[in-house]
Amino acid sequence: MIDATAFAMPVERGKIREFAKAIGSDAAEYEQGSCSPPTFLVTSTFWNDVSPIQISGFDRRRLLHGEQEYVFHGPPPAAGEQLHATISLGDTFERDGKRGGKMRFAVIVTEFRDNTGLLRAEQRMTIIETEPKEASA
């Protein structure tokens, strides 16, 4: 498990445009890059050498994506901005699965700050590791 990692993420007009097309949006503000779609921050994964799975220490073979949440402290980032992100492990907990076995949960928190250090957005991703089949039998 890794405690935290920091990385820079340039917000590029072309990438905003590509992302908007991928989600089926033709909104002019995305085409111009004057702001990014709210879920655009998920692309930060491509700028970081450490994956959320590595942060959690979970086994990738038994992983489920549980939830994704974005909290913005102002408008979504626009083209030309440089974000400085820190990804870290938030809450962790365990529950019994409905089909037997334990499920471990981890909330991975990524904070995005601008060049002045102002917190612009937070991304919270909940991932779930299921118990190995042999352990739950």
- For residue 101, the model assigns a pLDDT of 86
Ordered structural domains, the chain, with CATH: 4-136 (3.10.129.10)
What residues have CB less than 8 Å from 102, skipping those under 6 apart? 94, 95, 96, 131, 135, 136
- Average pLDDT value over all residues in the chain: 90
Nearest to 34 by CA among 73, 83, 75: 75
Residue with tokens 């779609």: 37
**Closest C-alpha to 110, from 59, 64, 47, 41:** 41
Q: Which residues have C-beta within 8 Å of that of residue 86, sequence separation ≥ 6?
A: 4, 5, 6, 110, 111, 113
Closest CA to 91 of 63, 67, 126, 115: 126
Helices and strands (DSSP H and E) totals, the chain = 4, 5
- 68-108, pLDDT tens digit by residue? 999 999 999 999 999 999 999 999 999 998 877 899 999 99
Residue-wise pLDDT for 19-37, tens only, equals: 999 999 999 999 999 999 9
Please give the model's pTM, rounded to 2 decimal places: 0.87
**How far is the C-alpha of 96 from the C-alpha of 115, rounded, in Å?**
43
Residue matched to tokens 């073979």: 61
